[in-house]
């Protein structure tokens, strides 16, 4: 089965009502590749604004979600609240959540399991630090993150999109070479084949993230195991359209 190209835009903690509306209007008016699935993740405060104004073909993601149905969890958002607002996706495990907010592999896995079991699809992020890459531990680190997810998730990965984001390349302007990115993507697919199933390996989309821009996306998109991108800062700019259309 051919994997549909996927481009996610993570706004992080950026934007105002005015600037978010401008991004939405730009996407609504752009000619976007119909063979690319596009999802954008504004800050939680603007999720409804985006969902109510963005054309329906483009998905909307939260940047986080909690692993309990509801209750006394100040500051969190539930899966049912996302669904009530027409939000079908969430990003989980982003390196900023793992490193700055100290979310462990197990916490990320628990959230991912709860979201996917209850009907919200997940862009699940993994990646290594510069120290880990220089020590030759990249594949071991990512295998550990994947193993924690599999322990919770089991064999059903149908609602999961994996995003490989080398921490050293996020927001730094440094980009993994196409060969470095493809090597890790191929290893993730091989891990899925060995540890989960042929079906998961064949159908799970694996995105590259980390200083993706309109300048480097074409070369990256040509690699066999790169099924799209999770874009940070560039998703706030008009050039995001060029990244969405990079697989044309």
Question: Catalytic positions, please?
Answer: 94, 165
* List of long-range contacts for 147-151, beta carbons under 8 Å, 24+ apart: 147/195, 148/105, 148/106, 148/108, 148/109, 149/105, 149/108, 149/109, 149/112, 149/124, 150/195, 150/196, 151/109
Relative to beta strand 89-92, strand 206-209 is unpaired
Distances (CA, A) of 140 to 130, 175, 188, 191: 14, 20, 11, 11
CB of 161 closer than 8 Å to CB of 155: no
Tokens 């699809």, located at residue: 121
Sign, Cα dihedral of 193, 88, 242, 176 = negative
Bin 154: left if φ > 0, else alpha if -120 < ψ < 50, else beta. left
């Amino acid at each position: 089965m051919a994997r549909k190209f996927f481009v996610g835009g993570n706004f992080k903690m950026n934007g105002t009502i005015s600037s978010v509306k401008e991004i939405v209007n730009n996407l609504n008016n752009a000619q976007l590749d119909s063979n690319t699935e596009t999802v954008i993740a504004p800050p939680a405060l603007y999720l409804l604004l985006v969902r109510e104004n963005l054309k329906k073909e483009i998905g909307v993601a939260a940047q986080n979600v909690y692993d309990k149905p509801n209750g006394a969890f100040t500051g969190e958002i539930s899966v049912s609240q996302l669904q009530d607002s027409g939000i079908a996706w969430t990003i989980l495990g982003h390196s900023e959540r793992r490193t700055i907010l100290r979310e462990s592999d197990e916490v990320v896995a628990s959230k991912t399991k709860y979201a996917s079991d209850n009907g919200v699809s997940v862009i699940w992020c993994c990646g290594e630090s510069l120290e880990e890459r220089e020590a030759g531990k990249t594949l071991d680190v990512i295998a550990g993150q994947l193993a924690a997810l599999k322990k919770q998730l089991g064999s059903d990965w149908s609602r999961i999109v994996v995003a490989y984001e080398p921490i050293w390349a996020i927001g730094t302007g440094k980009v993994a070479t196409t060969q470095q990115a493809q090597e890790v993507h191929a290893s993730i697919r091989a891990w899925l084949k060995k540890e989960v199933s042929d079906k998961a390996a064949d159908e799970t989309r694996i995105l590259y993230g980390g200083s993706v821009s309109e300048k480097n996306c074409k070369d990256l998109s040509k690699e066999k195991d790169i099924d799209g991108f999770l874009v940070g800062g560039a998703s706030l700019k008009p050039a995001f359209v060029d990244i969405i259309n990079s697989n044309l």
